[in-house]
Structures are given as C-alpha cells and as structure tokens.
C-alpha cells in the first residue's frame, strides 16, 4: 500500500513513505479518478460567478472541510464570494457510509495512523542533537514533509460537522444530510437540473455526468470549471466514454481494471470510440480481464 523513498538531507539519510492508493482522499485538491484531473486541467476555465445568471450550486461539503479545515470564517467568506448575483448554495454532507465502503475506510484510517507516526518521528528527529548539523534549507525540507504528513492525518470529525451545520443554517444556508454518500445525492441533483453546478474536489462527478464541475485547485484562481460537453468535443471523446477512461486509468472501487495512465486512455477512446471496440482491436491490453468485468464496473457511475 505504501512506497518508501529514501532522501539524503545534508549527510543524514531519512526514509519517507508515500501513499499509493488512498492519498487522494486527504488532499484538498482534485480527488477522484487517478490522473484525470491532471490530464484535463489544461481544458478547464476560471469561474466568473459575478457574470452568471442565478445558479443553484450543489456543494460537496467535505471538499470545503479539506480545503479550509476548522477555519469557518474563511470558509464562509469564500461561499459568500460565490453568492453574488443571488446564486444559491446547497451544502450536502455524507451520511452513513455503505457497507461496501468499510474496507476503504479502514485503509484510510490506517493511512492516517501511518502519517501520524511519520510526523512524530520527524519532529523527534529535529529535536535530536545530530539535527543541529542540518542547514536551514535541509530543515525546511523536513518541516515541509512534517506538514504534508499532518495534512494526511487530518480528518473530518463529528463535532466539526455539527458546528458547521449549526453555523451554516444560522447564516440562512440550506444544508442536506445524505442517507448515504453525498456524491450520489449531488449527482442526482445535477442530472435533474436541481443544481446547475457542483463544487467539489472529485473528478468522479465529471465522469458521472455533471456538466459543470467547479474544482478546487492548488493554484490561483482557487476554483476552475470543467465543462463536460466542450471538453468531450475538444478531445473527441464521447461523453459516455468517460466512465471507461476512469476504469482504465484507475478507479478506487475497481483497481484491478486499471491498465494505463488517464492521458493514454483518453487517446485510445478517441481513436476507438468505446471500450467494446478497444477490447476487440487491442486484446493485448486485456489478457487477464474480461469485457464483462468492465461492463459490470460501469454501474459505479450510473
């Protein structure tokens, strides 16, 4: 589950681990299908809420939590900046996770534990005598790594959720608590046009059919829009083929079907049109998996 990387800081060797499968769940930026955000980022556009007609904006509230953590003042300032022209935000929070997600949740918990141990070890290292031999730049490298691990450790806790719900309602915002995962409700709301935009940090929404997806980024502007139809036309990929791109590139619920980077999957779906034709023409890519397995996995995006 983890790759270990050895670095030399000054003349001292330190070993860091790098999560492989679940790190996206703790990054505030562009979670979802492996590599899809990076492949499509160049086709995204800045958002201009002040130029839009009034919109209903469905918000994956956990994306806000991982972006702003406990800083609710900054969080609500950001939301209010989106509410120009009388836009209406609707916050949606996860409910009870389905049974099939328990293994994933256990893996996330283990990752947080490992990250906490790494952060504590590095902090202890900086307090040791030989750490005095470190240059200022080397010390900054380690401190940055500690911060990364502490970000990995952070998770949404019950009191934070409750405080957010209370404060959001007190400010007059609509808050919905899902019975299951917020993703399912937000997708339903978008596909029925109850909301015209989804704000999240998960490219699953793009694959699932959300036409206008606002994604948090590391860079300025802090939010960019992924428009599904224009991007599909630009890349020559049929809108329904994005689910096959996702499966080929690596989707967390079907990791065994991963075959290639997202950029390569996009190119092949542009050439062959759909997975069935790709399967027929490029059997060399699928020697240990059946077409039926991919067809069954498509249900994750329905």
* Interval 99-147: pLDDT, tens: 656 666 566 667 777 877 888 888 888 877 565 677 788 888 888 888 7
Task: Find the mean pLDDT for residues 15-31.
Answer: 44
The answer for residues whose C-beta is within 8 angstroms of residue 220's C-beta and 6 or more apart is: none
pLDDT tens, 71-85? 999 999 999 988 888
Separation between Cα atoms, residue 228 and residue 36, nearest integer Å? 13
**Sheet arrangement for strand 56-60:** 45-46, 223-227, 212-216, 197-200, 56-60, 88-93, 174-177
Contact call for residues 223 and 217 (beta carbons, < 8 A): yes
Asked if the bond preceding 221 is cis, omega within 30° of 0, the reply is yes
pLDDT value for 300: 86
Phi, psi of 175 (to 5 degrees): -125, 130
Compute CA distances 143 → 6, 19, 31, 202, whole Å. 16, 18, 25, 28
Contact call for residues 175 and 168 (beta carbons, < 8 A): yes
pLDDT tens, 279-297? 999 999 998 899 999 999 9
Contact call for residues 215 and 30 (beta carbons, < 8 A): yes
pLDDT value for 25: 37
pLDDT tens, 188-210? 999 999 999 999 998 999 999 99
The answer for residues whose C-beta is within 8 angstroms of residue 211's C-beta and 6 or more apart is: 190, 227, 228, 229
The per-residue DSSP string of 124-158 comes to HHHTSGGGGGS-HHHHHHHHHHHHHHHHHH----H
Pairing of strands 223-227, 212-216: antiparallel
Lowest mean pLDDT among 78-82, 166-170, 238-242: 78-82
pLDDT value for 101: 61
Separation between Cα atoms, residue 53 and residue 229, nearest integer Å? 20
Residue 18 tokens, joined: 């790098």
Task: Return the closest-CA partner of residue 244 out of 228, 224, 266.
Answer: 266
């Amino acid at each position: 589950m983890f790759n270990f990387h050895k670095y030399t800081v000054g003349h001292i060797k330190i070993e860091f681990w790098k999560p492989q499968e679940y790190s996206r769940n703790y990054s505030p930026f562009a979670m979802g299908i492996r590599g899809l955000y990076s492949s499509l980022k160049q086709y995204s556009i800045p958002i201009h809420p002040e130029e839009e007609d009034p919109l209903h904006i469905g918000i994956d509230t956990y994306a806000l939590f991982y972006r702003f953590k406990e800083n609710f003042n900054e969080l609500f300032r950001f939301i209010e900046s989106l509410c120009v022209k009388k836009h209406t935000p609707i916050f949606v929070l996860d409910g009870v996770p389905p049974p099939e997600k328990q293994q994933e949740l256990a893996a996330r918990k283990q990752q947080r534990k490992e990250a906490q141990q790494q952060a504590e070890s590095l902090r202890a290292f900086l307090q040791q005598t030989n750490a005095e031999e470190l240059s200022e730049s080397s010390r900054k490298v380690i401190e940055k790594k500690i911060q990364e691990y502490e970000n990995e450790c952070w998770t949404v806790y019950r009191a934070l959720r409750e405080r957010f719900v209370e404060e959001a309602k007190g400010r007059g915002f609509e808050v919905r608590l899902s019975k299951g995962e917020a993703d399912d409700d937000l997708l339903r709301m978008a596909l029925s046009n109850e909301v015209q935009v989804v704000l999240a940090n998960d490219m699953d929404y793009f694959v699932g059919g959300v036409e206008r997806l606002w994604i948090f980024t590391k860079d300025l502007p802090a939010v960019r829009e992924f428009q599904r139809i224009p991007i599909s036309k630009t890349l020559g990929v049929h809108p329904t083929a994005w689910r096959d791109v996702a499966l080929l590139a690596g989707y967390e619920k079907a990791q065994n079907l991963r075959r290639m980077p997202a950029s390569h999957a996009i190119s092949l779906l542009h050439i062959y049109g759909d997975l069935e034709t790709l399967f027929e023409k490029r059997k060399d890519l699928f020697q240990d998996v059946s077409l039926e397995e991919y067809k069954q996995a498509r249900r994750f995006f329905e």
